[in-house]
Structure 1
């Protein structure tokens, strides 16, 4: 198959999927449900949405600042402005080509700060390792907070917790066996998996051995705190979601964190996934979906605004480089 056609499919399929999900969601709802959804969005408290917007921008600024702790030990000085604009352009790129942002971010810094691409890209991978660890921690907290709800759900579905535990232990066993097979195999796909795993381990080691590791860890926690708070605060903008517990909001946050990478910028998938989780836990459907759309729109506006400005300003502010 033609490589250009494959590339086209990789870009277009996620976008078409997102658009299809929006269309299907609207088509499968009644006129009254659509009106209730729209009314919830229109009536949402704009103050809390604006606060969420500011927190989102702050998290990106902190991400750009954190980046310097990875670059400086290698001898590369860079301006906060260029790092911030590189981060925002990267997020903007993900709306066009999913998961292309990391590459563009490294290319941008290479172009305007003379940081070799492979060095810059390596630091981004190490950052992602730290982010993944925080996300895993949040998932653990969600499981603990929502244990009662999960048990009730399993009981309603006539699923015995003991059977679920046995299935879980079985999956763990399969994973352990799989890891051992990958370790001993010379098959090319397994070699790539080993290379990726090695890179993740090296990323963790580089974080723990860096000179300003505590500053890096602080900003990592701060970034994810901003993500959580900007998401959490949206609930205050809708009366029906204002009383929703932190555990339920965090569960929706976790699902949204995975859903956002499924399509271009999470279009379609993110708001519906977040709304679906809230509905599952008893939030009124129109309010739950409104929460998902407002959260997605707020985050998207942050990226479009600062990403668009960064795309324009980067060459203008660095015209002498």
Structure 2
């Protein structure tokens, strides 16, 4: 929401269109996460499925809920589209702006650059997790396949909670126990990973808000 307001303020783009582009980016991120989960299931299917089973996590149910929410959203949009009520007309105009913003990915001039940037960002996410395993002696010898498992586990915890607060380290500890790492060592890595990611977001986000007015003033 805040990002949409920022784009609207500095770029002069209507809020609904700006918000629509953000939704499109999240859809792209969702497909990237599905791709990573698929690769991880191929590399570490036994361990990942064991973790989900022991922690009573059903990935298929999670995916089913997301698809159900999508279906409900489509039904609501169909109802709004057919309604002639003035309030519904305002919602219809807002939704039309959202759709136009979401279509921007298909209409953008630099589609290849967008795809490559998306891949680069997610590869950096994974490599950041990989680099941090060396901060804890007990996890320094973990394979890249285990790091992929941790990344998927971390992605689920962040999606299921408010940024993974509190549960992210616990999930790391539970996952790494499957690979012979103590809960204390796993949770230590989880705290380091979550803290560094949070600090990075806060610092870079704060700097962005400081430099945005300067950058746009020069434009």
TM over 0.5: yes
| Alignment partners' CA distance in 2, 1:258 and 1:308 | 26
Deviation (angstroms), 1:293: 0.3
Partner of 1:108: 6
| TM-score where L is the length of structure 1 | 0.51
**Which segments of 5 or more consecutive residues in structure 2 lack a partner in the other structure?**
55-59, 80-95
CA distance in 2, matches of 1:213, 1:144: 29
**Conserved 8 A contact 2:139-2:186:** yes
1:310 to partner: Cα distance = 3.3
**Do 1:129 and 1:204's aligned partners in 2 also have CA atoms closer than 8 Å?**
no
**In 2 relative to 1, CA 285–191 (structure 1 residues): closer, same or farther, beyond 3 Å?**
same
Tell me the distance in 2 between the aligned counterparts of 1:231 and 1:203: 32
Does the aligned pair in 2 maintain the 1:253–1:274 contact within 8 Å?
no
Residues of 1 paired with 2:12 and 2:100: CA distance? Answer: 24
Deviation at 1:263, TM superposition (A): 3.8
Quote how far apart the aligned CAs of 1:287 are: 1.3
Displacement after TM superposition at 1:212 (Å): 1.4
Q: Return 5+ residue gaps in structure 1 as ranges.
A: 1-102, 158-167
**Residues 1-321 of structure 1 correspond to what in structure 2 (within 5 A)?**
103-149=1-47, 153=50, 191-192=75-76, 207-315=105-213
4+ runs deviating over 6 angstroms: 199-205
CA separation of 1:203 and 1:280: change in aligned 2, threshold 3 A? farther
Distance 1:271 1:305, change over 3 A: same
Q: Give the distance between the partners of 2:22 and 2:215, measured in 1 at CA.
A: 23
Change (3 A) 1:127 1:293: same
For residues 122 and 73 of structure 2, the distance between their equivalents in structure 1, rounded to whole angstroms, comes to 33
Distance 1:203 1:109 in 2: 12
Structure 1 residues 193 and 226, CA, compared in 2 at 3 Å: closer, same or farther?
A: farther
Change in CA separation of 1:107 and 1:213 when aligned onto 2, cut-off 3 Å: same
What is the aligned residue count? 192
Deviations along 1:45-76, one digit per CA (max 9) or x if unpaired, are: xxxxxxxxxxxxxxxxxxxxxxxxxxxxxxxx
Asked if 1 retains the 8 angstrom alpha-carbon contact of 2:20 and 2:100, the reply is: no
| 8 Å Cα contact 1:130/1:204 also seen in 2 | no
Equivalent-residue separation in structure 1 for 2:12 and 2:33 (angstroms):
32
* Superposition deviation, residue 259 in structure 1: 1.2
Point out which structure has higher relative CO (alpha carbons under 8 A, 6+ apart): 1
8 A contact 2:36–2:152 mirrored in 1: yes
The RMSD of aligned alpha carbons is: 3.6
| CA distance 1:256–1:193, change in 2 (3 Å) | farther
The CA deviation at 1:148 is 4.2
Quick one: structure 1 residues 314 and 214, their matched pair in 2 at CA, closer, same or farther if it must change by over 3 Å? closer
Aligned partners of 2:4 and 2:18 also within 8 Å: yes
Name the SS for the 2:163 alignment partner. Answer: helix
What is the rounded CA distance, in whole Å, between the counterparts of 2:149 and 2:135 in structure 1?
19
